[in-house]
Structure 1
């Protein structure tokens, strides 16, 4: 059993800090902003693939602090990053940390960006319920994404499903970027069998009605919210089990359950970050600290994502199919 210790953020310190810091390093010059750590209105950006969990965090934060109003814009990763770099938002939630060059750019604007890891998301591969091939090796998945493999019978000789349709949310998404960066070594996906479904929900719906499709989504989209144990996925699609071995078997292949993310058995795992650019240390900082604090991390735990901090207890359970 592994345990992680929560770090409790103290809003009082944020209030004190916000009184002495300003965006232009001049007293009482906040560019029109009036928010404090517990009140006011801000707009922040987040990768659409994390919208279910971030919406829950936002609602609970506003319930705790009724005078605080958080307006969320859920969009693709490129748009999120562009808004942050242009200082059009003070808070971004995404699956990519800033590069050294991007961090350095903020210093030229007399401000600083700070990133907080908040959790680990399993990148899930999903197929149609009628597809009986549910085990896949990491190597085979890479070949599908690179375009080296384009037909199901190139992996499963008995398959009659024909061409493989690879479904992402959109071509500027954080999920697609993660596959290109982490699985393909930075190589861009350019093959013609890629489908952009416009959203994570769209990926699931496309796979549900397309027998030869394989979809790529964050694990928080496929968890069955009716199961408080986070041990079941949606019933209308099949989540593939992934193996790091040369041949995928039931004993060496794993789904993106939190336990398999924790011990590294499931290979397709990405870190989720809060990136804050707010010298005032006001509402953006407070919300980020809330997400990394005990309540925020508990919300992440219940969503099916592995929290960055928390008291993780592993128990043996029996699952009835």
Structure 2
């Protein structure tokens, strides 16, 4: 009877531990197995889906459930501890780090790529070259029409379109181009990156702001299809460019060489308290195999050389 009682007690303990691991979703995972959820800036859906698919193909017992959201929601997921792995185009602010300090959680940051923000326009728009000075005036509302940019333009009022009000691309423009000021009244948000591209294709006065990952992978039929429908603008940091060679599109090599000005970094931020599946995935993305996928996608790997690939406008 004592042996039976001890066996039942041991079984109950195993069930309790299993239930605990099932509820938290992280107690029983290892660097190459188990189940976790991660929160990802939706700007990077194409490359992260590719990384996850390849990782799960290698490690058959690993299951990563990715939720693609606007940047603000991804940060909140991390702060609220509803996820322990977030993928963002920025590092944490001092205020956000203070929250983790109070919770005795230590976020670990891994830089995995250099990304860029791309500007796209309708195929009927012949003005495919802009200076940084012109861009700042457009996003501040100082320039409101295409004719102000090109006297020969037959287009009307400029319509600025983002994928989401809380997206990383909108935050990037506010921080980097208009230094925290409000975006002008002619700014709108679509419901997704695909909806943004649809809108730009259908509206000749629109300029869309999108993560370059959506239009940079020439091995991805979706990205190639997008490029056939819109123009990708060339940008010059020179306020008075002499030739078209002074303008740069977000080609992979130009991003790496810092010739294309609208650059940003991509990070994996982990608050795992131990070496779990999230840590294993972050290590994989930062490894040679993971970096090769980033290279293929058209972004710039954090640790590898790049090839020159053109985003040609047709």
Query: After TM superposition, is the score higher than 0.5?
Result: yes
What is the SS of the residue equivalent to 1:120? strand
Deviations 1:101-129 (A, max 9, x none): 21232121122001111111111111111
Deviations 1:236-256 (A, max 9, x none): 111010001113431100000
Specify the SS of the correspondent of 1:73.
strand
Q: CA deviation at 1:188?
A: 2.7
Q: What CA distance in whole angstroms lies between the structure 2 residues aligned with 1:283 and 1:316?
A: 34
What does residue 277 of structure 2 align with?
283
Q: What value does the CA root-mean-square deviation take over the aligned residues?
A: 2.3
Residue 5 of structure 1 is matched in structure 2 by: none
Deviation at 1:266, TM superposition (A): 0.4
The question of whether the paired residues in 1 share the 8 Å contact of 2:235 and 2:248 is answered with yes
Whole-angstrom CA distance in 2 between matches of 1:185 and 1:195: 19
Pick from 161, 164, 168 the counterpart of residue 162 of structure 2: 168
Partner of 1:114: 108
Give TM-score, length-normalised by structure 1.
Answer: 0.85
The alignment status of 1:211 with 2:209, answered yes or no, reads no
Q: 1:221 and 2:227 equivalent? A: no
Alignment partner, residue 186 of structure 2: 193
Q: CA deviation at 1:148?
A: 1.0
2:235 to 238, 242, 256: 242
Number of aligned pairs? 289
| Contact 1:121/1:220 (<8 A) preserved | yes
Structure 1 pair 227–277 and aligned structure 2 pair: CA distance change class (3 A): closer
1:233–1:244: structure 2 CA closer, same or farther, 3 Å change rule?
A: farther
Alignment correspondent of 1:274: 268
The unaligned stretches of length 5 or more in structure 2 are 1-19
Structure 1 gaps of 5+ residues are 1-28
Q: CA deviation at 1:224?
A: 5.0
Answering whether residue 306 of structure 2 is matched by residue 294 of structure 1, we say: no
Provide Cα deviations, 1:259-301, integer angstroms capped at 9, x if missing partner: 1011111000010110100012201111111111111110000
Distance 1:58 1:132 in 2: 39
What's the CA shift string for 1:194-220, capped at 9, x where partnerless? 121111111111111111100011111
Shift of 1:226: 3.7
TM-score, normalising length: structure 2: 0.87
- In 2, Cα distance between equivalents of 1:148 and 1:89: 41
Alignment match, 1:8: none
Query: How far off its partner does 1:314 sit?
Result: 5.1
- Residue deviations 1:52-96 (CA, integer Å, cap 9, x gap): 000000000101111010000001011100110011100000112
Alpha-carbon separation, structure 2, partners of 1:283 and 1:264: 34
1:127–1:240 Cα contact (<8 Å) kept = yes
Give the direction of change, closer, same or farther, for the CA distance of 1:245–1:54 in structure 2 (3 Å limit).
same
1:320/1:241 Cα in 2 relative to 1: closer, same or farther (>3 Å)?
A: closer
